[in-house]
Copies of this chain bind each other. A is one copy, B any other.
Amino acid sequence: METVGQIIRTKRETLGLLLRQVAAHLDIDQAILSKIERNERKPTKTHITKLAEILKLDKDELMVQFMSDKIAYEIADEDCANRVLKVAEKKVKYLQSHLIKTKL
């Protein structure tokens, strides 16, 4: 089970890029990127978008990994975690069909 951090580090090394270089593209200190790769800090959505760009990763897929990481992390300690996901699924369906989409 790969974390977003692991995906990023692996791909960065494959491409032979330095923390410094990737961090510059994200416009952050390399210290943060180092921590993100080691799951010591969570990336933001902006980070994810820019990481997908420079690391030539699929943006949607990386976003899915990012968000599922976040959700899994916040409910994994609950015994009702699975039920939470099931109910959340229903609610998402409901929201998506009833919501007036206000996207661009």
Contacts and interface: CB of A to CB of B under 8 A. Distances in A.
How many copies of the shown chain assemble into the complex?
2
Contact of A1 (B67, B91, B103): B91
Interface in A52-67: 60, 63-65, 67
**Chain A interface SS verdict (over half):** helix
Interface stretch (A12-20, A21-29, A30-38, A82-90): A82-90
A76 B64 contact: no
Given A1-B90, A1-B94, A91-B72, A63 B78 contact: yes
Interface of A: 1, 60, 63-65, 67-69, 71-78, 80-85, 87-92, 94-96, 99, 103
